[in-house]
């Protein structure tokens, strides 16, 4: 075959291949960055995992950092989706679209060896403020209470302070501070005299959940509202969700996505 013809064929193939790639013949990958609440992180990771299996051309990266990081990241547009485990204040919600993907109970957790099984809201408030310092004051053994809390900026802490502590009462300054829900749970697990607050979604047999006002924290009691210590799990987007981000959020709020939310021990938003 003539050399010029061969060269012409090769050039044609290159041009056609380039055109196919430019037109998305091998479909382009979409990337979604999710940043924020460490309480929302596990369910967001599970949702992302299932979604990526069904949508192989979408890559979703989920990171923690806390609700304040999630809110700021969404406001600044450095993340496609920010996550929060607390309701937003007016100055935080400006310019953001909120999607409630689930509801979660905040569990008051103690060591499994602790004989105390129930507290009133006032007793919880007294313990975390430092006004109650010994377990015998609430029906337990004669031992000092070791309070474990989350860091400032944590959505779980903000929700706990708002629901339990109120505006005037602060968590005691010498409380042990942990940087994630899992870290709080581990601290309580290892200390017979510790008390902390964790997400219902993170509750397991390693710690004991206390009844509050006689109500056990569970999916059922969060759903029917009898367990009062609860908060929303939020996805936050700057402006309106579009493209791959909107498609993912729509799926999360669909029956399929909400079934995964339920499987993660959370109360579906819908």
Tell me: the pLDDT tens digits for 96-135? Answer: 999 999 999 999 999 999 999 999 999 999 999 999 999 9
Same domain assignment for residues 226 and 160? yes
Please report the beta strands in the chain, taking only residues with DSSP state E, as ranges in sequence order: 30-36, 58-65, 81-84, 96-111, 118-119, 146-150, 176-178, 194-199, 207-209, 211-212, 230-238, 267-268
pLDDT band at 201 (very low <50, low <70, confident <90, very high): confident
* 90 and 109 together in one domain: no
On whether both 202 and 214 belong to a single domain, the answer is: yes
| Mean pLDDT, all residues of the chain | 91
Distances (CA, A) of 116 to 108, 113, 120, 185, 208: 12, 9, 12, 17, 9
Supply the pLDDT for residue 270.
75
Res 14 pLDDT > 80: no
Tally of domains within the chain = 2
pLDDT of residue 257: 97
pLDDT band at 188 (very low <50, low <70, confident <90, very high): very high
In a domain, 21, yes or no: no
Per-residue confidence at 265, pLDDT binned at 50, 70, 90?
confident
Same domain, 169 and 201: yes
> What is the per-residue DSSP string for 102-132?
EEEEEEEEEETT----EE-HHHHHHHHHTS-
- 14 falls within a domain: no
For 144-172, what is the mean pLDDT?
93
Per the domain annotation, does 133 fall within a domain?
yes
**17 domain residue, yes or no:** no
24: in domain: no
Q: What is the pLDDT of residues 38-88, one digit of tens each?
A: 889 999 999 999 999 999 999 999 999 999 999 999 999 999 999 999 999
Q: What is the pTM of this model?
A: 0.74
Do 57 and 144 belong to one domain? no
71 and 57 within one domain: yes
Question: Does residue 156 belong to any structural domain of this protein?
Answer: yes
Are 141 and 248 in a shared domain?
Answer: no
pLDDT the model gives residue 148: 98
Question: d(Cα 254, Cα 174) in Å, to the nearest integer?
Answer: 44
Give the pLDDT band of residue 167 (cuts 50, 70, 90).
Answer: confident
Contact present, 262 and 101 (Cβ < 8 Å): no
The per-residue pLDDT for 168 is 85
- Segment 143-170 shows an average pLDDT of 93
Per-residue DSSP letter, 138: G
Same domain? For 110 and 163 the reply is yes
Structural domain includes residue 55: yes
The parent domain of residue 248 ranges over: 29-103+233-268
Tokens of 38: 């460490």
99 shares its domain with 109 = no
What count of Cα atoms within 13 Å lies in the side-chain half-sphere of residue 209? 21
pLDDT band at 9 (very low <50, low <70, confident <90, very high): low
Q: Phi and psi dihedrals of 8, rounded to 5?
A: -60, -40
Dist. CA 135–CA 146, nearest whole Å: 10
Indicate which CATH number applies to the domain containing 111. 3.40.190.10
Answer yes or no: do 78 and 112 share one domain: no
| Phi and psi angles of residue 216, each rounded to the nearest 5 degrees, phi first | -80, 135
**Among residues of the chain, what percentage have pLDDT more than 70?**
90
Q: In angstroms, rounded to a whole number, what is the distance separating the alpha carbons of residues 264 and 186?
A: 19
Check whether residue 121 and residue 180 sit in a common domain.
yes
| The pLDDT of residue 243 | 96
pLDDT for 19 equals 47
- Residues 226 and 205 both lie in one domain: yes
- Cα–Cα distance, 194 to 185 (Å, whole number): 10
């Amino acid at each position: 075959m003539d050399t010029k013809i061969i060269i012409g064929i090769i050039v044609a193939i290159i041009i056609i291949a380039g055109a196919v790639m430019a037109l998305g013949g091998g479909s382009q990958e979409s990337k979604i960055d999710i940043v924020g609440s460490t309480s929302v992180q596990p369910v967001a990771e599970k949702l992302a995992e299932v979604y990526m299996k069904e949508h192989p051309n979408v890559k979703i990266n989920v990171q923690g950092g806390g609700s304040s990081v999630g809110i700021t990241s969404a406001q600044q547009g450095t993340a496609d989706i920010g996550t929060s485990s607390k309701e937003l204040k007016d100055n935080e919600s400006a310019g953001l679209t909120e999607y409630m993907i689930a509801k979660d109970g905040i569990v008051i957790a103690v060591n499994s060896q602790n004989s105390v099984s129930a507290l009133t809201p006032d007793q919880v408030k007294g313990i975390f403020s430092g006004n109650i310092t010994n377990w015998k004051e609430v029906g337990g053994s004669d031992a000092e209470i070791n309070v474990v809390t989350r860091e400032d900026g944590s959505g779980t802490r903000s929700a706990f302070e708002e629901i339990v502590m109120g505006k005037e009462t602060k968590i005691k300054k010498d409380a042990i501070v942990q940087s994630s829900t899992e870290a709080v749970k581990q601290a309580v697990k290892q200390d017979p005299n510790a008390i902390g607050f964790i997400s219902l979604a993170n509750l397991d047999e390693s710690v004991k959940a206390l009844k509050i006002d006689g109500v056990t924290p569970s999916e059922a009691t969060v759903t029917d509202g009898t367990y009062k210590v609860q908060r929303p799990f939020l996805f936050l987007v700057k402006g309106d969700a579009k493209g791959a981000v909107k498609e993912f959020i729509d799926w999360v709020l669909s029956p399929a996505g909400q079934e995964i939310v339920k499987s993660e021990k959370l109360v579906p938003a819908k």
